[in-house]
């Protein structure tokens, strides 16, 4: 796996190590962290609690609030992967799952990876019970005391989360349902 870190120029940088930023207050995230460290690795994975002092010291340019909302993986040369791409690059680093990572890196596989990320986000949202330790937020709906207010959460790419029925997709500019989607 390589990443273009030159802003569109042709240089490519090899990935020799990855840091996975995970939410230490999330039982699913810590379960996945524990599973990852037990796997044979082709590329070393280092686990760091998202939003921690260590994460802020090592990656001062990151939006650390966002790393608590969405899985973020940082490569040793500064590459940043989020969401589905972060899951794919993490699987790519594992000996027994590199083939799966290559399949997920295709356009149809990327949709599957995105679906897995959304399912994990829905599960995380339903298990927090409205309060997240440490005053963190989820979906940007922060209230006093660090609790999630249970309101709907919308993203600019058309995905939104409503606590009573989960994630839905409504393409930007297609709110009335009059245009077709390619999903």
Q: What is the pLDDT of residues 59-114, one digit of tens each?
A: 999 999 888 888 899 999 999 999 888 988 999 999 998 998 888 888 877 777 77
- For residues 91 and 100, give the distance between their C-alpha atoms in angstroms, rounded to a whole number: 7
- For residues 137 and 128, give the distance between their C-alpha atoms in angstroms, rounded to a whole number: 11
The phi, psi pair for 147, rounded to 5°, reads -95, 150
The answer, as to whether pTM is greater than 0.75, is no
- CB-based contacts of 130-139 (< 8 A; 24+ apart in sequence): 132/25, 133/25, 134/25, 134/51, 136/23, 136/25, 136/51, 136/65, 136/68, 137/65, 137/68, 137/69, 138/68, 138/69, 139/69
pLDDT for 167 equals: 66
Summarised one tens digit per residue, pLDDT across range 113-134 is: 777 766 666 665 555 444 443 3
pLDDT for 134 equals: 39
pLDDT for 164 equals: 56
């Amino acid at each position: 796996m390589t990443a273009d870190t030159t802003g569109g120029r042709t240089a490519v940088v090899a990935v020799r190590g990855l840091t996975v930023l995970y939410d230490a207050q999330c039982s699913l995230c810590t379960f996945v962290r524990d599973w990852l460290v037990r796997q044979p690795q082709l590329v070393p994975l280092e686990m760091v609690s998202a939003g921690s002092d260590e994460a802020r010291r090592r990656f001062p340019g990151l939006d650390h609030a966002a790393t608590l909302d969405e899985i973020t993986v940082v490569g040793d040369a500064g590459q940043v992967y989020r969401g589905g791409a972060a899951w794919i690059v993490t699987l790519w680093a594992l000996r027994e799952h590199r083939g799966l990572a290559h399949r997920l890196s295709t356009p149809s596989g990327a949709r599957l990876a995105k679906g897995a990320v959304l399912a994990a986000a829905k599960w995380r949202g339903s298990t927090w019970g409205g309060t997240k330790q440490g005053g963190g937020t989820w979906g940007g709906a922060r209230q006093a005391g660090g609790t999630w207010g249970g309101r709907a959460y919308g993203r600019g790419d058309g995905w939104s989360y409503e606590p009573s029925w989960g994630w839905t997709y409504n393409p930007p500019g297609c709110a009335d349902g009059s245009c077709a989607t390619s999903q």
